[in-house]
């Protein structure tokens, strides 16, 4: 009988695990968006302060009023930005940032699981 060693975690599973635990400070996140030229200097400063950036105004307009208010409250009170938070998914989709782009912003590209 031969023993075969099997890697129990695929690359996709390892990436999913890294994504689930990934977070960064709002300051670091806003700096990353500014450096990637996704947010203007003014929007990055506003977002870092907890204000809703003007570049995302249309996102709020597309939400029901209660959800828009919740989005602003969550953003204003969150010192950490979690990679898999639903609000971040909405922001990323609105700004045409795909999963790979978010992985770069969160430093998840090229890591081993």
Compute the distance between CA of residue 68 and CA of residue 75 in angstroms, rounded to an integer: 11
Query: What residues of the chain score a pLDDT lower than 50?
Result: 111-113
**pLDDT tens-digit readout, 12-43:** 898 999 999 999 999 999 999 999 999 999 99
pLDDT of residue 9: 74
User: What global pTM score does this model have?
Assistant: 0.82
The pair of three-digit structure tokens given for residue 99, joined into one six-digit string: 């999963």
Compute the distance between CA of residue 26 and CA of residue 32 in angstroms, rounded to an integer: 10
pLDDT of residue 112: 43
């Amino acid at each position: 009988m031969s023993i075969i060693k099997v890697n129990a975690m695929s690359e996709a599973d390892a990436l999913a695990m890294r994504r689930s635990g990934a977070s960064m400070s709002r300051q670091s996140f806003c700096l990353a968006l500014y450096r990637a030229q996704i947010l203007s200097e003014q929007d990055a400063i506003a977002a870092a302060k907890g204000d809703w950036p003007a570049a995302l105004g249309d996102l709020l307009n597309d939400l029901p009023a209660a959800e828009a208010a919740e989005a602003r409250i969550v953003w204003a009170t969150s010192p950490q930005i979690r990679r898999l938070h639903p609000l971040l998914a909405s922001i990323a989709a609105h700004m045409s940032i795909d999963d790979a782009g978010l992985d770069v912003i969160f430093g998840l590209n090229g890591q081993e699981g």
